[in-house]
Structure 1
Amino acid sequence: MNSRRASVLLMAVNFSLLGTIAYVIYVMKVGPNIVAGPTKTRVVTNTVTQIAVRKINATNLLAALANRPLNWRALESTNYVVYIENLRNFGCPEETVQDIIITDIAKLYARRRAQLRTQLHPYKFWQTADPIRGTPTAPPELQRQLRELDKEQRQLVRDLLGVDFRAEIARYWNEEASAERDYSFLPPAKQGAAQSITERYDEVEQEVYWRSRGLLLNADQEELKQLQRQRRAELSAILSPEELDEYDLRHSDTANTMRTQLAGFQPTEEEFRKIFRLQRGFEENFDQAFDSRDDAAMALKTAAQREAQEALNQEVRKVLGPERFAEYQRAQDTDYRALLQLGERFELSPEVANKVYSVKQGAEQYKLQVESNPNLTEEQRNQAVAALARETERWVAATMGDPVFKAYQKTGGQWLGNLPVVDESAVPPPPPQPTGTTLPYDINLLPPELKNFLLNPPVFPPPVKR
């Protein structure tokens, strides 16, 4: 959260507290016979003591009230533990207690962050940006200290109030509490421990990325893999195998990558689980780091990965069936994702992207057949490809509409410009698929003219011998 949003939040909370202050003073005036609640004994570490206790005041609230005017200072304390107990003894609602204390702590840490940021040099408009953070580079030690303050503040709120600072702040911005979403599948007794392990290793991994400055070397990659193994070992100690599988479905790199790559596929929960198990097995087989300077080792790894990827695709095909597998492969094509993105930008139906993609596949397949036909002269080949390109572009433009088509030509429609260019070195296409199998594209989605052109291609005369 940036400083401006934090300032607005603190101002809003402060205004809300004015009513609470008035209420407490009113209670103090009309109900002087207040019985103090039981005193709680807390063990406070040195770190928390330095922050939670700025100056020790009198802790006997009734004695303080007997010798002071009835005002807010009689209730407030610079010792957070005493401050909280005073508020509760007055019957202040727990939610309001949390608002008061969290706001006070936030202001305290805001001052400490401002103090640290004085180490930054004055802003210079000609100073270049950091390639990772996009802002003028701050000293790494300062960045570390600021992150430590964030952790310290969060831990202090948890120790004093038993709540998570980020989750409480998110409530003011109508943001979903990620902890409830990401760990609700676990028993309540295990949620906090799993979240703590996850956040601790996330922070250590982030340190590796910061240190790499955007250039991960083999040693960095191996360190990240080692951290992942350590994280998993700690999680395995507190979670059952079934719970660990559920955790991986929500938090693992494999699952996060799949959610990005399969955006256009929209898998069901069952499909996602099945593909995840296959994909995770594939990745575990290539978990070891390779020396990129060893050409022979890299060649072996590349060949092994290619074979394993083909085997993985066959397994996914068995799981999904031919039709859904074709959609699965389509979703991973960057050309198709560009069509989906364009459709979202112009609020088009996904069917437009599906139809244009099918036309693209059909046109490129037919072009390959023309290019590799040995019975065509160069002129015949050029004429056939040019006719195909004209008809395809006309249909795509009519389907998308003028403004969308112009944007598509600049963003993801480069294939239309390549369509009329004949590749003389094209290899012959693979043999036709047997009847009844799924074509690489849905021919029924093609425009009638192009569909007829592909199903009934013109018969070209044999080349003239010269």
Structure 2
Amino acid sequence: MTRSKFTVTLLLVNLGLVLLAGYLWRKAHPPAEPAAPSGPGVVATSSGGPSQPVVRVVKTNVVETNTFRWSQVEADDYRTYIERLRGIGVPEQTIRDLIVADIDKLFAPRLNALRTGGEKELQYWQSDDKELESADEYRHRERQRRAVDYEKREIIRQLLGIDLVSERQRVQGAEDFFGRRLGFLSEDKRGQVRTIIERFNEEELAIRRKVWEEGESLTEEEQLRLQQLQQQREVAVTNLFTPAELEQYQITMSPLAYKLRDSLFGMNPSENEYLALFRLRKAFEEKWGDGSAAPAEPLKRAEWEQDVATITSQIKESLGDQRYAEYTRAQDPAYRELALAAARYKAPAAAAAEVYEYRRVVLEQRATVAGNRSLTREQQQAALSAMAAETERAVRATLGDRAYSYYLRSGQGGWIHGDNGQ
């Protein structure tokens, strides 16, 4: 072996021994863990270089400063309770739900006490208590129940400014007649109007029930009482409104408004036409009341007839000839039943008017055939039968099968076959 090779070999052996000794020493003396900082919540870590250690702050103590408890919001006074709920950002609908549910719970014992059997459990062999009470007992109990309901509604109105009936119908997806008709009023006023009308309607129904249940006519005293109730109702409602609201209410909810809308079914008046008719009829009724019957006294009767002729002329002038013809047609029950059948079963818009014209022509032709002395009885019957068959075909085709069947069931379609003297 040459000297150079030997030297290299020795160096490699020595290097191996040094590395082995270092390894054994490190294994026997592992590096100590870094000391934890003396301050709480601080950890020091070394990056292994000459730079300063990186300090990371760790939270070890969490102090609760805004813990929410429902007791912080609740209050014995509902107004304070509502203010606190609004103060913490609770949505208005949620506030309504909370307050209504709480008021319902508060009134539940009183309403339960008015139930026929209260909380008593019925056994399977026992009859329902409702079947054993008289009509007077039932009406008395219902009056008490409604009184409690009115009280509850008034509390909700004062607290939240809402109509409880309207709120429940909205939440349940039910139709609210007052909401649809009185949209020009605030919700608060709508609720007050609803309550006033319902209260007076109860008294009116109590009087009219005599006619329905006992078949007796109302006495003069009872009729006078009905008039007084209507006047008192209008005064009570009127006191709620501004002049503009009152005018809108009268053209929407007054007895005349109901009668006028009903008489115009099938005519589809425009807003301007409706307002013109309303004002003319209102002036007439302010003088003659309902005005549907002529006065018995001769002089009054003559004056009434003159006023009828005047308002008729005014209506015709206001509407024009074509619309006036449609107006007078709308007053005919025969047309109204046709319009109802067509609307209910989605027949074409002109179907009712078309069939109404068929009716006029058929009745005229039927009278002509019946009065024709040159025809034998057999010839008359043959002509009338052919006319009836063609009329049925034309009316059915115009209205559609379902509307045609409904129209016959209404009892107004006898003219098609010449039944019932039509």
Measure, in 2, the Cα distance between the counterparts of 1:420 and 1:83.
69
Q: For the Cα contact (< 8 Å) 2:347–2:400, is it kept in 1?
A: no
- Specify the SS of the correspondent of 1:267: coil
CA pair 339-162 structure 1, distance change in 2 beyond 3 A: closer
- Which residues of structure 2 form unaligned runs of 5+? 1-61, 121-126, 212-216
AA aligned to 2:248 is E
2:208 to 193, 205, 212: 212
Tell me the alpha carbon deviations over residues 121-155 of structure 1, each in whole angstroms, 9 at most, x when there is no partner. 96379779x9xxxxx76533322211111111111
Cα distance, 1:111 vs structure 2: 3.5
Q: For the Cα contact (< 8 Å) 2:344–2:403, is it kept in 1?
A: no
2:251 to 249, 252, 277: 249
2:110 to 112, 124, 130: 112
Corresponding position of 1:160:
159
Instruction: Give yes or no for the alignment of 1:228 onto 2:230.
Output: yes
CA pair 200-299 structure 1, distance change in 2 beyond 3 A: farther
CA pair 213-238 structure 1, distance change in 2 beyond 3 A: closer
- Specify the SS of the correspondent of 1:117: coil
- Which residues of structure 1 form unaligned runs of 5+? 1-28, 35-69, 131-135, 423-466
Q: Which has the higher contact order (CA 8 A, sep 6+)?
A: 1
Measure, in 2, the Cα distance between the counterparts of 1:82 and 1:245.
38
- The number of residue pairs the alignment matches comes to 346
Tell me the alpha carbon deviations over residues 28-64 of structure 1, each in whole angstroms, 9 at most, x when there is no partner. x996458xxxxxxxxxxxxxxxxxxxxxxxxxxxxxx
Measure, in 2, the Cα distance between the counterparts of 1:287 and 1:76.
56
Percent of paired sites with the same residue: 32
Computed over aligned residues only, the root mean square deviation of the Cα atoms, in angstroms, reads 4.3
Bigger Rg over Cα: 2
Cα distance, 1:300 vs structure 2: 9.5
Measure, in 2, the Cα distance between the counterparts of 1:340 and 1:318.
25
AA aligned to 1:274 is A
Cα distance, 1:282 vs structure 2: 3.1
CA pair 382-316 structure 1, distance change in 2 beyond 3 A: farther
1:199 to 153, 172, 195: 195
AA aligned to 1:96 is T
Corresponding position of 1:414:
414
Instruction: Give yes or no for the alignment of 1:139 onto 2:134.
Output: no
Corresponding position of 2:48:
none
Q: For the Cα contact (< 8 Å) 1:194–1:235, is it kept in 2?
A: no
Cα distance, 1:274 vs structure 2: 1.0
Q: For the Cα contact (< 8 Å) 1:116–1:142, is it kept in 2?
A: yes
Within-5 A mapping of 1:51-200: 72=70, 75-77=73-75, 79-81=77-79, 83-88=81-86, 90-118=88-116, 123=128, 138-174=137-173, 182-185=181-184, 196=192, 199-200=195-196
Measure, in 1, the Cα distance between the counterparts of 2:227 and 2:193.
16
AA aligned to 2:327 is Y
Cα distance, 1:234 vs structure 2: 5.3
| TM-score normalised per structure 1 | 0.60
Tell me the alpha carbon deviations over residues 393-429 of structure 1, each in whole angstroms, 9 at most, x when there is no partner. 343344445565444433331112326969xxxxxxx
CA pair 198-323 structure 1, distance change in 2 beyond 3 A: same
Q: For the Cα contact (< 8 Å) 1:198–1:231, is it kept in 2?
A: no
Cα distance, 1:360 vs structure 2: 0.5
Measure, in 2, the Cα distance between the counterparts of 1:209 and 1:348.
37
CA pair 137-345 structure 1, distance change in 2 beyond 3 A: farther
Measure, in 2, the Cα distance between the counterparts of 1:162 and 1:296.
48
CA pair 227-163 structure 1, distance change in 2 beyond 3 A: same
Corresponding position of 1:264:
266
Tell me the alpha carbon deviations over residues 61-117 of structure 1, each in whole angstroms, 9 at most, x when there is no partner. xxxxxxxxx754565455534543554454534442222111111233233212211
Within-5 A mapping of 1:352-363: 352-363=351-362
Q: For the Cα contact (< 8 Å) 2:178–2:194, is it kept in 1?
A: no
Tell me the alpha carbon deviations over residues 211-252 of structure 1, each in whole angstroms, 9 at most, x when there is no partner. 431527243332232233344445666656554332211110
Cα distance, 1:209 vs structure 2: 1.1
Measure, in 2, the Cα distance between the counterparts of 1:212 and 1:345.
31
CA pair 346-111 structure 1, distance change in 2 beyond 3 A: same
CA pair 307-363 structure 1, distance change in 2 beyond 3 A: farther
Measure, in 2, the Cα distance between the counterparts of 1:165 and 1:288.
35
AA aligned to 2:103 is I
Cα distance, 1:280 vs structure 2: 2.2
| TM-score normalised per structure 2 | 0.65
Instruction: Give yes or no for the alignment of 1:330 onto 2:332.
Output: no
Measure, in 2, the Cα distance between the counterparts of 1:238 and 1:406.
48
CA pair 181-386 structure 1, distance change in 2 beyond 3 A: closer
Tell me the alpha carbon deviations over residues 238-276 of structure 1, each in whole angstroms, 9 at most, x when there is no partner. 656554332211110111222233221111001111111
Measure, in 1, the Cα distance between the counterparts of 2:306 and 2:376.
38
AA aligned to 1:116 is L
Corresponding position of 1:13:
none
Measure, in 2, the Cα distance between the counterparts of 1:278 and 1:240.
23
Q: For the Cα contact (< 8 Å) 1:197–1:231, is it kept in 2?
A: no
